[in-house]
Structure 1
Amino acid sequence: MHNFFAKKRMTAFLFILVLATFSILNIIHSFGPMKKTLASADYRFSNAKGIINELDADINEHVFEKFGFVEAYGYLQSLMWKNEENNFEVVKDTEGKLHYTYFATGPTDTTELSDRVAELGAQLGAKTKFTYVMTPDKYVRGYTTFPEGIPYNFNNETADGFLDHLKQNGIDTLDLREGLLESGIPAKDLFFTTDHHWKIKTAFWAFGQLVHHLDGLYNKPLDPDHYFTDIGNYNVIPYTDFFIGSQGRKTGKFFAGDDDFDLIYPKFKTNYSFYFKTGETEATLNGRFEDALLTTYPLNVKGATYDLTADKYFTYLYGNQGIVHVVNKDNPNGLKVMFIKDSLAVPMISFLSTVVSEVYLIDPRYYTGDIIDFAKKTDLDHVFVSISPQDLVDEFFPYGKNKVEGQFTSSK
């Protein structure tokens, strides 16, 4: 009996020791971010809840060996042949690809959002054309299937209703979901396994579809010799087992593996000016496509698999910026276009820059100015809105709402 209680006491002691050690390591790990939050906090009583929430976020984001635990948990889920994690926050389809999803009974009504897009188009000058570009959802109709019990979010059906309402309002649309399975890219390679974005080769295919669509709207084709839309005129640098995307960062690499990544950039001579601004951060770069429009940091950084700043997808155009201005110095007489976009469109727009004169990009989440006012005051031939099916929510359509007037300086 004495040995029995001795073992119990020893077990309790070891448990408390491990718990205390882990708590101390967590305090050390999160001390810096918590100190920074407290130093900049507004200590009025009305802000107490906000301060507590920020501190809670600091602690949750800076858990000691956080991603070691994520990987261990994901590995256990894979051993049990599970197809979901964290109460269906991330699920796995029958091909092993990860998806964001949620329980839904039908498509979402997006009439108000499509009305805002129609109003944006109505505010543009007579010479400025207007097009909505619908990028595809990772759930590819005709290919993707979920295992039994996995919920479907009706993103594609929501996008169908959204586009139908735009067409009723006379808005020109390009639906890149159409023809996706006939693109020549194997269906399994259209999207990353561990990320919600399409692969770079799929984005390049979409660039060709966009150019073809624009050729039907203008008398002069953008790429009459099909030179710029021929991937044979681009370097394609493969990186094998190199990328873990946003979904994989939530599950760990043992749950769904990792991804290959292709870096695509022109073989031909290019000359660009690239300006971006988000908040107080701004920069201007000049040079070839690969010097001005690409950042190699995500490709070169070591030991940062789960670091958001090392996200390979954001090699193009430095990721999501509030506002971007790209000038193609080799095509001064081409079209001047503007995109109101989410992250899916970024590499497609990068390639489109080879056949136009100027491109403006606005991300509604980070731009602090009035988007309609900016579009009206800027010399533009064409305005595009490109928000993917999963992002057809209020956050991406702030037109007409009160916004703080932003500042923008052209890169010319």
Structure 2
Amino acid sequence: MHNFFAKKRLTAFLFIVVLAALSVLNLMQAFEPLKQTLGSADYRFSNAKNIINKVDADINEHVFEKFGFVEAYGYLQALMWKNEENNFEVVKDTEGKLHYTYFATGPTDTKQLSDRVAELGTQLDGKTKLTYVMTPDKYVRGHTTFPEGIPYNYNNETADGFLNHLKQAGIDTLDLREGLLENGIPAKDLFFTTDHHWKIKTAFWAFGQLVHHLDDMYDKPLDPNNYFTDINNYNVIPYKDFFIGSQGRKTGKLYAGDDNFDLIYPKFKTNYSFFFQTGETKATLNGRFEDALLTTYPLNVKGAPYDLTADKYFTYLYGNQGIVHVTNKEKPNGLKVLFIKDSLAVPMISFLSTVVSDVYLVDPRYYTGDIIDFAKKTDLDHVFVSISPQDLVDEFFPYGKNKRTDAPNNSSK
């Protein structure tokens, strides 16, 4: 009996030692971020919740050997053949691709959001056209299936309703979900396995669809000889087993594997000026497409597959920036366009820059100005709104609000 209790005491002691050691290591890991957060915090009582949330985020993001634990947990889930992780935060389809999803009973009502886009259209001058470009959801209708018990979020049905509202309001639309399975790219290669974004070749196909759509709207075609939309006129550099996306960073490589990544850029002569700003950070770059519009840092960084700054998808246009202005010096008399967009559209817009004069990008999450005011004050031929099905929520439509009728939109991604 004495030996029995001695073993219990030793086990408890070792458990406390390990727990204390991990606590100290975690504190050391999070010390600098916590110091910065607390040093710059607004300590008014009304801001208490915000401070707590930031401190919690700092601690969660700076756990000692965080991704070692993520990999170990993901490996155990894979051994048990589980198709979901962390209470359905990330799920697997029958093909092994990861998805964000949630339990829903039907599509979300997005009438208020489509009304805001329509209001944007009424504020533009007579010469400026407006088009909504609906990028596809990773759940590809007619191809993707979930195992039994995995919830479906009705993103596609929500997008259907949203586009119907826009059409009723007389807004021009381009639905890139149409023809997606007939574009020549194998269905399994349309989207990354470990990321919610489409692959770069899919974005290039979408660029061609957008050009064809615009050719039907303007007397002068953007690419009359189909030169700029021909992928044979671009370098395609493959990187094998190279990319772990946002979903894979939550589950680990051992759970879902990793992805190939293709870097696509023009073979032909290009000359750009590229300006971007988010908050106080801004820069201007000049040169060829690959010098001005691409950042090679995510492709060159070694040994940090989980580092957000090494996200390969954001090789194009330096990722999500508050405001961007791309000037194509080879097309001084081309169209001037504005995109109000989310991240899915970034590589598509990069390729579109080859056939227009100026491209402005606004990301509603990071741009602090008035988007409608910016559109009205800028010399534009065309305004595009391109928010993907999973992002049809209030955060991405902070304009055109009618305070007398709008209620908060409580839908979630």
| TM class, shorter-length | over 0.9
Task: For 1:90, give the aligned amino acid.
Answer: V
Counterparts of 1:245 and 1:346, CA distance in 2:
16
Residues 195 and 244, structure 2, Cα contact 8 Å, conserved in 1: yes
Partner of 2:219: 219
Q: Which residue of 2 aligns with 1:121?
A: 121
Instruction: Give distance in 2, aligned partners of 1:58 and 1:208.
Output: 42
SS state of the match for residue 263, structure 1?
Answer: strand
Specify the code of the residue in structure 1 equivalent to 2:222.
L
The one-letter code matched in structure 1 to 2:379 is: D
Are residues 1:140 and 2:176 paired?
A: no
Equivalent position amino acid for 1:341 in 2: K
**Residue 367 (structure 2) pairs with residue 367 (structure 1):** yes
The answer on whether the counterparts of 2:138 and 2:197 sit within 8 Å (CA) in structure 1 is: yes
Which residue does 2:26 correspond to in 1? 26
Equivalence for 2:407: none
Alpha-carbon distance in structure 2 between the residues aligned to 1:206 and 1:278: 27
Quick one: structure 1 residues 401 and 36, their matched pair in 2 at CA, closer, same or farther if it must change by over 3 Å? Answer: farther
Q: Distance in 1 between matches of 2:46 and 2:211?
A: 53
Q: Classify the secondary structure of the residue corresponding to 2:277.
A: strand
State the distance in 1 between where 2:108 and 2:46 align.
35
2:260 match: secondary structure: strand
Q: Which residue of 2 aligns with 1:251?
A: 251
Q: Partner residue of 1:311?
A: 311
* Shift, 1:53, TM fit: 2.4
Distance, in Å, in 2 between the alignment partners of 1:160 and 1:50 is 36
CA distance in 2, matches of 1:242, 1:57: 28
CA deviations on 1:214-258 (whole Å, 9 max, x unpaired) are: 000011110011110000000000000000000011111111110
Tell me, in whole angstroms, the C-alpha distance in 2 between the residues paired with 1:118 and 1:373.
Answer: 15
TM-score (norm 1): 0.96
Q: Matched residues in 2 for 1:35 and 1:376: separation?
A: 42
Deviation at 1:5, TM superposition (A): 2.0
Counterpart in 2 of 1:86? 86
- Secondary structure in 1 matching 2:325: strand
Q: What are the residue-to-residue correspondences of 1:48-87 with 2, within 5 Å?
A: 48-87=48-87
After TM superposition, list the pairs within 5 Å mapping 1:175-194 onto structure 2.
Answer: 175-194=175-194
- Listed as ranges, the matches of 1:271-290 within 5 Å are 271-290=271-290
What are the superposed Cα offsets for residues 110-151 of structure 1, whole Å, 9 maximum, x if unpaired?
001001001101111111111000000000000000000000
In the TM superposition, what is the alpha-carbon distance from 1:7 to its structure 2 partner?
Answer: 1.6
Distance across 1 between alignment mates of 2:371 and 2:76? 47
Contact 2:116 2:401 in 1 (8 A): no
CA displacement at 1:43 relative to structure 2: 2.4
**Counterpart for residue 131 of structure 2:** 131
Classify the secondary structure of the residue corresponding to 1:339.
strand
Give per-residue Cα distances to partners, 1:193-231, cap 9 Å, x unaligned: 000000000000000000000000011110011110000
| Offset at residue 2 of structure 1 (A) | 2.4
Alignment partner of 1:165 is 2:165 = yes
CA contact (8 A) 2:119 2:400 kept: no
Contact 2:278 2:323 in 1 (8 A): yes
Find the counterpart in structure 2 of residue 405 from structure 1. none
Q: Name 1:406's counterpart in structure 2.
A: none
Gaps in structure 1 of 5+ consecutive residues: 403-412
Aligned to 1:353: 353
CA deviations on 1:81-132 (whole Å, 9 max, x unpaired) are 0000111111000000000000001100000100100110111111111100
Q: Distance in 2 between matches of 1:7 and 1:144?
A: 53
What SS class does the counterpart of residue 51 from structure 2 fall into? helix
Q: Distance in 1 between matches of 2:379 and 2:282?
A: 22
Q: Find the aligned partners of 1:62 and 1:17 in 2 and give their Cα distance.
A: 21
Distance in 1 between residues matched to 2:48 and 2:117, nearest whole Å: 38
Q: Residue type of the partner of 1:256?
A: A
Per-residue CA deviations over 1:366-388 (Å, capped at 9, x if unaligned) read 11111111111111111100000
2:191 counterpart letter in structure 1: F
Identity over the aligned pairs, expressed in percent?
A: 88
Letter in 1 for 2:128: T
Report the 3-state secondary structure (helix = DSSP H, G, I; strand = E; otherwise coil) of the residue aligned with 1:21.
helix
Contact preservation (8 Å) 2:298, 2:312:
yes
Partner amino acid, structure 2, of 1:284: T
1:62-93: CA deviation from partner (whole Å, max 9, x where unpaired): 11011111111111011000000111111000
C-alpha distance in 2 between matches for 1:388 and 1:50: 28
Please tell me whether residue 35 in structure 1 is matched to residue 35 in structure 2. yes
Q: C-alpha displacement at 1:188, in angstroms? A: 0.1
Alignment partners' CA distance in 2, 1:80 and 1:388: 33
d(CA) in 2 for partners of 1:191 and 1:68? 26
Say which SS state the counterpart of residue 227 (structure 1) adopts: coil
- More deviation in 290-299 or 7-16? 7-16
* Aligned equivalents of 2:153, 2:18: Cα separation in 1: 41
Give 1:37 shift.
Answer: 1.1
TM-score (norm 2): 0.96
- Which runs of 5 or more residues in structure 2 are unaligned? 403-413
Output the amino acid matched with 1:381: D
Per-residue CA deviation, residues 29-88 of structure 1 (Å, 9 max, x unaligned), is: 111111111111222333333322221221111110111111111110110000001111
Name the Cα RMSD after superposition: 1.0
For the residue of structure 2 that corresponds to 1:52, the secondary structure is: helix
Distance 2:280 2:179 in 1: 41
In the alignment, the residues of structure 2 paired with residue 179 and residue 13 of structure 1 have an alpha-carbon distance, to the nearest angstrom, of: 63
Deviation at 1:12, TM superposition (A): 1.4
1:401 deviation in Å? 5.2
* Alpha-carbon separation, structure 2, partners of 1:103 and 1:312: 30
The code of the aligned residue for 2:397 comes to: F
Q: Which amino acid aligns with 2:385?
A: V
Matched position secondary structure for 2:28:
helix
Q: Structure 1, residues 143-202: CA drift from partner, whole Å, max 9, x if none?
A: 000000000000000000000110111111000000000000000000000000000000
